[in-house]
Structure 1
Amino acid sequence: MGNVGIAVRDLDQAIAFFTDLGLTVAGRAEVSGEWADTAVGLDGNHARIAVLNTPDGHGQLEFFEYLHPDAIETEPALPHEIGMHRVSFVVDDIDAALAIAARHDCHPLRGVATYEDVYKLTYLRGPSGILVMFAQELR
């Protein structure tokens, strides 16, 4: 897999949230032009993008903020809706990860659950309503 792409309303806000969680910025750019229109299938495509690497170096998230055409606001996805579901992170300390998220005014949807003494996990809304899951292995 190359990366997971996520459209956001505020690129800088998304970068701040995910870098606080330990991801690192691999690169930033503005993209536009015929090649971008063709690749994305959207005429007049112009966006600011940032690619972030996961701490283990095995994954990447690509965030893009559309400058043109205007981004279309939608309701954030619910956990049981078909389509892009969530971004999940295995964390060493779920309480520490939640404290970082809280600094960005992002809190669990309901609370922290324990699954069969294997994981502590929770869902929260990140920037632009992105569903984010934290999972801490207990064994």
Structure 2
Amino acid sequence: MPVRRMDNVLIVVDDLEAVKAFFLELGLVLEGETTVGGPEVGALIGLEDVRSTIAMLRTPDGQGIELDKFHTPDPFRLGPVDAPVNAMGYRRVMFDVDGIDELVARMRTRGAEIIGEMTYGESYRLAYIRGPEGIIVGLAERLG
């Protein structure tokens, strides 16, 4: 099989500091942050005159979320910030967590909107939350 593992998911953001703080509060760790640009970067991603700041965050098991704040060219939004979960495209990332009730309560005090919560049979407690810039995160805690 040619694919060995998933390395990271890219999320393009406007307010890098707010989104970074959101993921750090969830328990991810900042691996690094840098500004990139130039013709090599532009050729790789298919844009000209690229300059962006990237923050790489990792879960304890090594999975990554890459946050990218474009300075040039100007970024643009395809839809509303509060698009529902059934909007086309990437809609959420889900994390396996411990202590979902405490985590949801803590995220709520940090401004996260709770979309919904449920218990899935006897297997999982689930919660969907919306953070800065409309980013949807799923939280799943194994039961038993």
Give the TM-score of the pair, scaled to structure 1: 0.91
1:56 deviation in Å? 2.2
1:34 deviation in Å? 0.2
Q: Which consecutive unaligned segments of at least 5 residues does structure 1 have?
A: none
Q: Answer yes or no: is 1:107 the counterpart of 2:121.
A: no
Q: Which residue is 1:62 aligned to?
A: 66
Q: Which residue is 1:45 aligned to?
A: 50
Aligned residues of 1:97 and 1:134 also touching (Cα < 8 A)? no
Q: Deviations over 1:66-95 (max 9, x none)?
A: 111222133244212332121101111111
2:131 to 126, 129, 132: 126
Q: Which consecutive unaligned segments of at least 5 residues does structure 2 have?
A: 1-5
1:99 deviation in Å? 2.1
State the alpha-carbon separation in 2 of the partners of residues 70 and 95 from structure 1: 39
Give the TM-score of the pair, scaled to structure 2: 0.88
Aligned residues of 1:52 and 1:60 also touching (Cα < 8 A)? yes
Q: Which residue is 1:75 aligned to?
A: 80
Aligned CA-pair RMSD:
1.3
Q: How many residue pairs were aligned?
A: 137
Q: Answer yes or no: is 1:14 the counterpart of 2:35.
A: no
**Matched position secondary structure for 2:104:** helix
Q: Deviations over 1:97-128 (max 9, x none)?
A: 1122113210211x310111211111111221
**What letter is aligned with 1:96?**
E
